[in-house]
Amino acid sequence: MTDKGGTGLIALILALVLVPFFLLLVLVMRIADEEDRENGTSCLGPGSGLGSGDTLAPRGSFLKPVDPSAVTVTSGFGQRWGTRHQGIDLAGAVGTPIYASADGVVRHAGPASGFGQWVVLDHVQDGQLVSTVYGHIDTYTVAVGEQVRAGQQIATLGNRGESTGPHLHWELWPGGWGTAAVDPLPYYDSAPAPGESSAGPTTPVPPAPSNGSLAQPLPPSAGSEQGLQVDAKKLARATHLKFGDRIAGLGGWRADGGYATDHTEGRAVDVMIGNYRSGDGVALGDEITDYILANAEFFGVEYVIWRQTYYPVGGAPSLMEDRGSETENHFDHVHISVRGQGTDERLVSWGSLPGGSGNATAAPADCLVSGEGLGDRLADGSVPPEFVPWLERAGSICPQIKPSLLAAQLAAENGFRHGESAPVSVTGARGPAQFMPGTWASYGRDYDGDGRVDVNSIGDAVMAQGHYMCTLAATIDGAIADGVVSAPNGRTELYLAGYNAGEGAVLASGGFPTGHPDYVVQTRPYADTIIAAEPKYRARSNQ
């Protein structure tokens, strides 16, 4: 038999003590969340979430990669043992946390010759691309294409590879990895430690020593170099540097070459023109064509096709036969075919961009990274008010899919149009989220409780959109875990590709869909447009 009176008294005492404690804890966590948002970032990325080991810094920060009290500088930059030591060595205990020096995107993460394992990050500092390298690491917690924040823990110090003792090898590359490294010690000395706001005046990162160098690989955000021969890689890198965000994307190798074999052989690059029907789009295509032909010898160009016109190097242009569509007639992209010169890069002299350094970077100068909580709330006035509650509800179904991503997707799909007057696409897709009948039959529900399952209803359509995107995310994440799908540019673009082209296309291609022209001219711009637009739908503390 129990003492019910005594038990009730104990419960009352516990309630009086614990409830205020937990309320205070929630308040502190909310304040911390707001501080993270204020110091936060503005670009969409899959991320791994932020952990308790992070010491996040305000946007634009440049930090030491480790706690200086836990390491000792044991080797400097320059000639060492008959070779050039490209960084500095920071000796410490295995397992010491390593932090991202600045907001950025993961270029490399994993095994590396000499280092055993490494992480390479791309940052934008003062409007220019800068890379940092973290070598000999023991473990890492980031993936290629993931976006990270300054002070986010990315790895632990180790003793892997060609190492004489546990240490972090840290490098700094103004202009991006693959250009020319500089001595990082002045930047290390002047940068604040992780968790500190400032250590005094910091050393500014110098201008890239080789502006326009084509040795720098194409950023994952611009396109893939998979399967390309060296001339095509050089051309793709130069086109990105020269024309940057003015182009809609770059296509290259694909299994289905269409009318010719240059794509399947890795000798062709397609420069996509976003607004190709407009005067500005035509002028951009003309500018790209002129630039490529003017530098045809440097790039090893054989011919260019633009707006149904064939431009052979050294010959007269000629009008091609009508192939039946704007894509096949090259109205929406400039096709460039090069000699190739194989895939062996050991003897390649990449050179610099003809005509100057160009205007492209790996990410916009103010494009930082997504973290926990970012995208959970919509920016005031960014979407029609009737969509707000449904987007925020649908964006809480799974952690991979945020309201801001769903909002950007709706804008791309149907411009937030809804109701019976909303247009039906040429393929039969309907409603704000443009569901095909078969997909709607699987995901359509009466979410708004009006007694109807209506593809044109905001509530029904947006909730179905959220559930479908979360199903795609779970399927694709599972395939990545099984090793049958890779996401070098991050997972978000694969979720969007699954929505646009079907999850089967992602699974069959082992990543972003390839093998069909639609994937180049429709699915790639679809994903890129949504990812680029997402930040404007995300609430920020200064709004």
437-493, pLDDT tens digit by residue?
989 999 999 998 889 999 999 999 999 999 999 999 999 988 988 889 888 777 888
| Residue 282 near residue 326, CB atoms below 8 Å | no
Q: Tell me the CATH number at 169.
A: 2.70.70.10
Is residue 252 domain-resident?
yes
Q: What type of residue is 19?
A: V
Number of domains present in the structure of the chain:
3
Q: Of the ranges 87-96, 129-138, 354-363, which is most confident?
A: 87-96
Residue with the two structure tokens 């694709």: 476
**pLDDT tens string 239-250:** 988 887 788 888
What integer pLDDT is reported at residue 370 of this predicted model? 31
**pLDDT tens string 484-519:** 988 877 788 899 999 999 999 999 999 999 888 888
What integer pLDDT is reported at residue 518 of this predicted model? 83
| Residue 267 near residue 335, CB atoms below 8 Å | no
What integer pLDDT is reported at residue 127 of this predicted model? 54
- d(CA 283, CA 306) in angstroms, rounded, equals 11
Length of the chain: 543
Least trusted range by pLDDT, from 22-26, 138-142, 314-318, 441-445: 22-26
**pLDDT tens string 372-387:** 344 577 888 899 999 9
Is residue 212 domain-resident?
no
Token pair for residue 386? 């009737």
| Residue 273 near residue 249, CB atoms below 8 Å | no
Compute the C-alpha angle 175/176/181, nearest 5°.
80
Q: Which residues pair with 97 in a beta bridge?
A: 156
Helices (H), 194-346: 230-243, 279-294, 296-299
> Burial of 510 by CB count in 10 Å (0-12 exposed, 13-18 middle, 19+ buried)?
middle
What integer pLDDT is reported at residue 380 of this predicted model? 86
Residues 240 and 317 in one domain: yes
Residues 410 and 507 in one domain: yes
SS3 content of the chain, % helix, strand, coil (to 5): 30, 15, 50
Helices (H), 263-402: 279-294, 296-299, 388-394
Is residue 355 domain-resident?
no
What integer pLDDT is reported at residue 18 of this predicted model? 52
Is residue 60 domain-resident?
no
Token pair for residue 124? 């934008």
More confident residue, 319 or 260: 319
The separation between CA 228 and the C-alpha centre of its own chain, rounded to angstroms, equals 21
Residue 185: give the domain boundaries: 68-190
C-beta neighbour count of 162 within 10 angstroms: 11
Q: Tell me the CATH number at 234.
A: 3.30.1380
Q: Outline where DSSP puts E strands in 213-274.
A: 249-251, 268-272
**Residue 38 pLDDT greater than 70, yes or no:** no
- DSSP letter string, 428-481: --BTTTTB-HHHHHHH---TT-SS---TT-HHHHHHHHHHHHHHHHHHHHHHHH
Residues 393 and 508 in one domain: yes
What integer pLDDT is reported at residue 137 of this predicted model? 95
Q: Outline where DSSP puts E strands in 399-480.
A: none
What integer pLDDT is reported at residue 101 of this predicted model? 92
pTM as predicted: 0.41
Q: Tell me the CATH number at 423.
A: 1.10.530.10
Among 190, 222, 238, give the residue marking a domain's end.
190
What integer pLDDT is reported at residue 405 of this predicted model? 92
**Residue 46 pLDDT greater than 60, yes or no:** no
Residues 389 and 528 in one domain: yes
Q: What type of residue is 376?
A: D
Residue with the two structure tokens 């799909």: 413
Segment 393-416 mean pLDDT: 89
pLDDT band of residue 528 (cuts 50, 70, 90) is confident
- DSSP letter string, 509-523: HTSS--SSHHIIIII
**pLDDT tens string 286-328:** 999 999 999 999 999 999 999 999 999 988 989 999 988 888 8
Residue with the two structure tokens 């905001």: 458
- d(CA 62, CA 203) in angstroms, rounded, equals 10
pLDDT band of residue 214 (cuts 50, 70, 90) is confident
Measuring CA to CA, which residue among 139, 146, 225, 137 is closest to residue 178? 225
| Residue 239 near residue 271, CB atoms below 8 Å | yes
